[in-house]
């Protein structure tokens, strides 16, 4: 989908109905993060993800309008770079909001919208909602990053994480989130609006591995609690999942989205 004279962004949409659900992947993740699931590994196969009708997007599309897209610099499940036009990296959440707004306008997807954001994509979803609460009528955050991490991580963990992200910037085109400027964007944003919101949190420990001997897991959990409170959200903390809930427990994510849709339609 062409969003300007010089840029295209890959978009896939299926189904019909209102509101439209928009799926926003985590760092480096393309649209097929929502359409594929890992295959069981056997002696004759690998665990390479494959298209699966029980993944989040196809499951929802039976009776909901649902879209997913490739941000610039993201990588598809087969290892290919997204065809979305590259941009200079790093990028902030506001950059993500601007691109998504332009993409939806170019595609004629005028809303209302329910945004579903995973990890870094959750920050884009949160900021979009705070900027346009009349258009975004529901929100689902899937083990989302948040501004609270800057407080719940120790200063050493936050600095180390930012250093790891900066060190991963190799060619200037692979997606790289700019967290510190994003924190400033959130500080200047409108207050959290009153929209039906669900926060899904991982409950199987995982660690960013930036401070050996001092796991980031407790800080991540604390930030999830703060995030849910700040949005007055339904907090689903028993997920039987690690960080990639949309891949590990797609039916749970689908159920959470449907619950938000029911709440929106019942207003």
CA dihedral 137, 143, 145, 148 (to 10 degrees): 90
Side-by-side strand order, sheet with 234-236? 11-14, 65-69, 20-24, 113-118, 136-142, 197-200, 234-236
Q: Are 137 and 264 in contact (CB under 8 A)?
A: yes
CA dist., res. 135 & res. 110, Å (int): 8
Share in percent of the chain as helix, strand, coil (round to 5): 35, 20, 45
Going residue by residue through the chain (267 aa), what tens digit of pLDDT does each one get? 899 889 999 999 999 999 999 999 999 999 999 999 987 765 555 567 899 999 999 999 999 999 999 999 999 999 999 999 999 999 999 999 999 999 999 999 988 999 999 999 999 999 999 999 999 999 999 999 999 999 999 999 999 999 998 888 767 789 999 999 999 999 999 999 999 999 999 999 999 999 999 999 999 999 999 999 999 999 999 999 999 999 999 999 999 999 999 999 886
Question: What token pair was written down for 99?
Answer: 């691109």
CA dist., res. 107 & res. 3, Å (int): 9
Where do the domains of the chain lie, and which CATH numbers do they carry?
Answer: 11-265 (3.40.50.1820)
């Amino acid at each position: 989908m062409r969003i300007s004279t010089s840029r295209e962004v890959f978009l896939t949409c299926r189904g019909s109905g209102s509101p439209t659900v928009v799926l926003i992947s985590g760092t480096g993740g393309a649209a097929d993060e929502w359409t594929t699931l890992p295959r069981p590994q056997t002696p004759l196969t690998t665990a390479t993800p494959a298209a699966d009708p029980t993944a989040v997007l196809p499951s929802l599309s039976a009776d909901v309008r649902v879209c997913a897209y490739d941000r610039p610099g993201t990588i598809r499940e087969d290892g290919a770079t997204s065809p979305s036009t590259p941009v200079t990296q790093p990028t902030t959440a506001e950059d993500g909001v601007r691109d998504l707004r332009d993409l939806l306008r170019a595609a004629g997807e005028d809303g209302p919208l329910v945004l579903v954001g995973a990890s870094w994509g959750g920050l884009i979803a949160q900021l979009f909602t705070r900027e346009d609460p009349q258009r975004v009528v529901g929100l689902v955050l899937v083990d989302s990053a948040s501004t609270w991490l800057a407080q719940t991580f120790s200063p050493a963990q936050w600095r180390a994480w930012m250093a790891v992200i900066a060190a991963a910037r190799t060619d200037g085109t692979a997606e790289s989130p700019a967290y510190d400027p994003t924190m400033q964007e959130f500080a200047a944003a409108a207050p959290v609006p009153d929209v039906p919101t669900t926060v899904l949190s991982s409950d199987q420990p995982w660690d960013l591995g930036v401070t050996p001997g001092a796991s980031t897991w407790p800080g991540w959990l604390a930030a999830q609690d703060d995030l849910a409170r700040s949005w007055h959200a339904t907090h689903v903390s028993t997920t039987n999942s690690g960080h990639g809930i949309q891949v590990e427990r797609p039916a749970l994510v689908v159920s959470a989205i449907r619950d938000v849709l029911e709440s929106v339609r019942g207003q």
